[in-house]
Amino acid sequence: MKKIVLVSQKGGAGKSTAAVALASALAAKHRVILVDLDPQGSVSRWASMAKLPATLQVVHLAKASDLKKAQLDADFVVIDTKGELSADALPFLDLALIPCSPSIFDLWAAEPTVALVKAHQGVRKDFKAAIFANRVKDGTVLGADVLEEIRTFDLPAMQVHLTDKIGYPMSIATGANPVSSGNSGIRLEALRFAKAVEDLL
């Protein structure tokens, strides 16, 4: 079982949407648990009205330390956080994904998260991490700039990214997910992203 966390110090980075996209895409071939660690419970609210595939389960946990004692049985566990991630949770994770939207504020906000992850990698060599561009406007100068800037961090930058297509929030708002929405564009994008994440592990 591989545990993957999406974390960013800044709100509005699109962590919850990316977590739903990743979990849904992984669930096309694997058993997946999507853990909601955000007190706002956005993922849990979505799950209460969504038509989840049999291979996808959503669980709400109160705090990161609950990951140690939670009975999670799946091929992949995808974890959505409220932002910060306590250092004591890192030993129970396999991969940290840091989303970065196309703005200077998101680039700045990624710096302390990268520092925390790098510090943990210093004592645990098998802990993996990567940064990826999220909510990118394809074909724009700003989108190209963020793709270039995330490569300056001292972490691997994923070669695939998620765009700001309206299909993502629309699929969630209607109780679907990016893979089951009927929108081929976001379906293929989410599946490519999930494959890239698997390759990191």
Binned at pLDDT 50, 70 and 90, residue 89 comes out as low
Binned at pLDDT 50, 70 and 90, residue 87 comes out as low
* Mean pLDDT score, 147-163: 88
Kindly state the helix (H) or strand (E) to which residue 17 belongs, with its residue range: helix 15-26
More confident: 14 or 90: 14
| Beta strand residue intervals within 90-192, DSSP E | 95-100, 128-133
Q: What is the CATH number of domain 2-200?
A: 3.40.50.300
Phi then psi dihedrals of residue 77, to 5 deg: -120, 120
Residue 58 near residue 44, CB atoms below 8 Å: yes
Binned at pLDDT 50, 70 and 90, residue 81 comes out as confident
* Mean pLDDT score, 78-102: 80
Instruction: Judge whether residue 11 has pLDDT over 90.
Output: no
CB burial string 44-68: b at 16+ within 10 A, e below: bebbeebebeebbbbbbeeebeebe
| Side chain identity, residue 137 | K
Binned at pLDDT 50, 70 and 90, residue 170 comes out as very high
% of the chain at pLDDT higher than 90:
52
Instruction: Judge whether residue 85 has pLDDT over 70.
Output: no
CB burial string 134-167: b at 16+ within 10 A, e below: bbbeeeeeebeebbebbeebebebbeebbbbbeb
State residue 83's pLDDT score.
Answer: 65
- Extents of the domains making up the chain: 2-200
State residue 104's pLDDT score.
Answer: 79
Instruction: Judge whether residue 146 has pLDDT over 80.
Output: no
* Mean pLDDT score, 30-58: 93
Residue pLDDT, tens place only, 183-195: 999 999 999 999 9
